Amino acid sequence: MSATAPIIHVVDDDASFLTAISRLLRANGFSVKTYSSAHEFLTQRDADAPGCVLADLRMPQMNGLDLQSALAQAPTPLPILFLTGHGDIPSSVRAMRGGAEDFLEKRAPKERLLDAVMRALGRDSRERMARERQRELRARFDTLTERELEVLSHVVRGRLNKQIAGDLDIHERTVKLHRTAITTKLKVQSVAELTRLTLEAGIFPEPVRTFPKG
Amino acid sequence: MSLITIIWCMSASASLTLAGINFMVWYQNRKSWANLLFALSATGTAAWALCELWMMRARTPSEFATVLKWGHVAVWLLIVSLVGFVRLYLNAGRPWLAWTVCGLRTLLLVPNFLVGQNLNYLEITRFEHMRFLGESVVIVEGVTNPWILLGQLNLVILIIFVVDATLTTWRRGDRHHALTVGGSIVFFLSVSSSQSLLVFYRIIRTPYVATVSFMGLVAVMSYELSRDMIHVLELGRKLQESEAGLREVEERMRLAVEGANFGIWIRDLVRNEIWATDKWRALFGFAKAERLELGQVFQRLHPDDREAFRSVLEKAAEGDGSYEAEFRVVLPSGEMRWIGSRGRVEFDGDGKQILARGVSHDITGRKEAEQETQNLRREIAHAGRVSMMGQLASALAHEINQPLGAILRNAEAAELFMQNKSPDLDEIRAILADIRKDDQRAGSVIDRMRGLLKRQNLDKRSVDVAELVGEAAVLVHSDATARHIRLELAVADHLPPVIGDAVHLQQVLLNLIINGMDALNGANGRDRRVSVTAALDGPKTIEIAVNDSGRGVPADQLTHIFDPFFTTKPNGMGMGLPISRTIINAHNGRLWAENRNEGGASFRFTLPIAEKDART
């Protein structure tokens, strides 16, 4: 099993259904791990591995919705798909609001089930990539010095070199040196790209003003 | 005046006075023969006293003899009435002795008047005066009349008769009367007889003074009669007192009864009269003086309650006579009220009804409250039933979908494994075993559901079909109106009750009616109709049908619609018909569907008629 192969985590207190669905998923080429309770899944899962969760809605102790909210708070969340013997409207509404990928009956057609699994895996891989990129960006920004960050915050707000020098009470040439260091470290070609990356990395919590005052 | 005159005259007058009083008592009440006999005894005593006085004062022997002769008449009267008194008053004494005494005494009057000068003497031979109580009185001697022996025998028999009567009384336990009446009479008779004999045979020299003893007899008899009289007066006074008490009790009773708003009635079945208190009349809407007849009273009863009440009365007459009933009364003004009635029929010795009486009171308030509670309970039961069925169906669907889901996924996996060039047969075998296991699991869930319906919830009683259909119609009425559907009921008259659980049967009916209404979704407004019919189907079965004017059931689905989870409705569970069929089967009935020639579907089920009403 390669590190990048996604794993489908199936959580159900019904052992018989657990076996059956894992057979089907394996026959369709997926890697499957089964858990008989939500608690077992939360303590045993490999946090880094990609994949998705298929959970029964009705389980003793911790039910599917509880599992959903516990998973949402984890550093590496996984998309969740709900399965139910017989669904009722209130719990399906709650599940979808909580960000569930889908809400399926246990006897749902195979195609719907596999589609939903594929969708969940796709979403996981997208979210995983986004998280990866953000982490990489953060690493790049981490190489900047305090002063360079300070200059950057002014640059992305569209301030001119002369204005920045005035604001920080330094020489205009020093500002230019800082900007060159920033673009070199962040490997960007233009101010526009610099601004986009800064926003994407979420470096400055406060909204960045791109137009000068007045 | 001389002492002798005073004593004898007073004795005579006292006796006469008592005689007069007792004669008057007898005259007032002709049945008090004891008083008449006493009056006669006292009269005899008075007459004898006067005779004795006269004899003591006689001037010639022949005058003495004549007075003595008439004195025997007085003695005859005294003895005969005394015998009668003893016989009557003590209710004892041998009748043959009594007749002997009376007969002999009467016969002795013949020699008294015909033989010699009187019963004592053939002839008086000596006539002399002597001092008695300080006075000069006459005493005589003469030739004894042999008939006097019979007279003396007569006295002995008399004493024997009285002694015998006294002993009988004593043995009976009435010692008081034996001593006072019997004993005294024996004593005074013995004294007077002995004295007369001693005088007659000249053993002692005194005049005849039997009056003194006779007065003793009169006093004893009079004392007893007076005691009786006083006793009677006492009883009379007590009776008056108790009557006053009774009136008081009656009055209190009346107050209590009116305070409790009870109306009382009494029906005399012999004279066919009904008496009732004003309160009762007001309850049933009769005027105070109006004559009451049973027919009229029945007319006041609500027509639906008449037969029931009549049968309650009949049952009471067959049983111990008491009954309790509740019925409606419709007043002439049209007002209706509920009456609670309790009563009792009384029988004579032959078991014939002679009297019926009872109380009635107004229970309208209580009945209305009961009705309200019942309506409320019915609504709650309905709400609970609908949600119970929903919950049951939902839980069952969940339970069954678990194994069904596992079966499906296993089968799909097996299909994929089979596509391999070298399928893993062990895996496929395991899958098949799991499929079999899950199938059994699903089956056991269904069995459990059947068991649940059969075991726990069926409370079979006699159920009125019209009521069953009517109640279901009431429950869906607002739904039908909102959906512009006409709900028609056609229940045959006088259907016998069926055996079943009303709650479950109603559930089935509701389910079928709602299905029928759902079948009209999308149908035109022209003929949106659901009809419920109920009629006899053979001697032991009633068939109920729910018909709709929809498009009917496609022919290939007619049998499948009773399969669990088979549904044609977007939000259907596919449980209503299978559960309904399970319920009807548990009632030993049949539920099936057919399409009607005039269009639409007809869901029909049969129910067995309650045993005793089955028309065999």
Tell me if chain B has a CB within 8 Å of the CB of A192: no
Higher pLDDT, A2 or B208: B208
CA distance B414 to chain A (A): 8
pLDDT along chain A (214 residues), means of 10: 74 91 91 91 84 86 84 85 76 77 86 91 89 85 85 84 87 88 85 83 63 50
**3 state SS of A85:** coil
The CA distance from B272 to B292, in Å, is: 10
Task: Return the pLDDT at B411.
Answer: 92
Q: Which of A203-212, B214-223, B526-535 has the lowest mean pLDDT?
A: A203-212
pTM, rounded to two decimals: 0.40
Identify residues of B whose CB sits under 8 angstroms from chain A CBs.
394, 397-410, 412-413, 416-417, 427, 431, 434, 437-438, 441
Confidence band, pLDDT 50/70/90 cuts, at residue B291: confident
The beta-carbon neighbor of B412 closest among A19, A83, A110 is A110
Task: Return the pLDDT at A1.
Answer: 39
Confidence band, pLDDT 50/70/90 cuts, at residue B305: confident
Percent of chain B topping pLDDT 90: 20
* pLDDT tens, residue by residue, A146-202: 888 888 888 888 888 888 888 888 888 888 888 888 888 888 888 888 888 888 877
> Tokens standing for B16?
């006469």
The beta-carbon neighbor of A85 closest among B398, B409, B417 is B398
Beta carbons of A16 and B409 less than 8 Å apart: no
Average pLDDT of the residues in B549-558: 86
DSSP B101-142: HHHHHHHHHHHHHHSSSSSSEEEEEEEEEEEETTEEEEEEEE
In angstroms, what CA-CA distances link B40 with B44, B218, B295, B449? 6, 10, 63, 106
Q: Which of A78-82, B444-448, B539-543, B571-575 has the lowest mean pLDDT?
A: B571-575
Average pLDDT of the residues in B542-568: 85
Q: Which of A12, A14, A16 to mutate to test the interface with B (most CBs of B within 10 A)?
A: A16
Tell me if chain B has a CB within 8 Å of the CB of A17: yes
Q: Which of B155-169, B338-352, B371-385, B413-427 has the lowest mean pLDDT?
A: B371-385
Beta carbons of A23 and B427 less than 8 Å apart: yes
The CA distance from B40 to B37, in Å, is: 5
Q: What share of chain B is helix, strand, coil (3-state, %, to 5)?
A: 60, 15, 20
The beta-carbon neighbor of B401 closest among A19, A26, A106 is A106
Residues A108-123 as b/e (b if ≥16 CB within 10 A, e otherwise) read bebeebeebbeebbee
Q: Count the Cβ atoms, other than its own, within 10 Å of residue B187.
A: 15
Beta carbons of B441 and A16 less than 8 Å apart: yes
Average pLDDT of the residues in B228-254: 85
Tell me if chain B has a CB within 8 Å of the CB of A88: yes
Residues of chain B contacting A105 with CB distance shorter than 8 Å: 401, 405
CA distance B457 to chain A (A): 25
Domains in chain A, CATH or no CATH each: 7-134 (3.40.50.2300), 143-201 (1.10.10.10)
The beta-carbon neighbor of A107 closest among B401, B431, B441 is B401
- The answer, yes or no, to whether residue B613 has pLDDT greater than 80, is no
Task: Return the pLDDT at B96.
Answer: 92
Tell me if chain B has a CB within 8 Å of the CB of A84: yes
* pLDDT tens, residue by residue, B400-452: 888 899 999 999 999 988 888 888 888 889 999 999 999 988 888 777 666 65
**3 state SS of A171:** coil
Tell me if chain B has a CB within 8 Å of the CB of A26: yes
Task: Return the pLDDT at B616.
Answer: 45
**3 state SS of B595:** strand
Q: Count the Cβ atoms, other than its own, within 10 Å of residue B213.
A: 20
CA distance A105 to chain B (A): 8
The CA distance from B602 to B473, in Å, is: 17
Domains in chain B, CATH or no CATH each: 3-234 (1.20.1070), 261-362 (3.30.450.20), 368-455 (1.10.287), 461-613 (3.30.565.10)
Task: Return the pLDDT at A139.
Answer: 86
3-state secondary structure B522-552: CCCHHHCEEEEEEEECCCCEEEEEEEECCCC
- The answer, yes or no, to whether residue B22 has pLDDT greater than 80, is yes
DSSP B444-485: HHHHHHHHHHHHTT---EEE-HHHHHHHHHHHHHHHHHHTT-
Q: Which of A186-190, B37-41, B563-567 has the lowest mean pLDDT?
A: B563-567
Residues of chain A contacting B404 with CB distance shorter than 8 Å: 106-107
Task: Return the pLDDT at A11.
Answer: 93
Strand partners, B609: B498
Q: How many helices (H) and strands (E) does chain B have?
A: 16, 14
CB contact at 8 A, B293 and B274: yes
Task: Return the pLDDT at B383.
Answer: 56
Q: Which of B392, B394, B398 to mutate to test the interface with A (most CBs of A within 10 A)?
A: B398
The CA distance from A66 to A88, in Å, is: 17
User: Both ends of chain B: CA-CA distance in Å?
Assistant: 113
How many cross-chain Cβ pairs, A to B, lie less than 8 Å apart? 77
Q: Which helix (H) or strand (E) holds B47?
A: helix B33-56
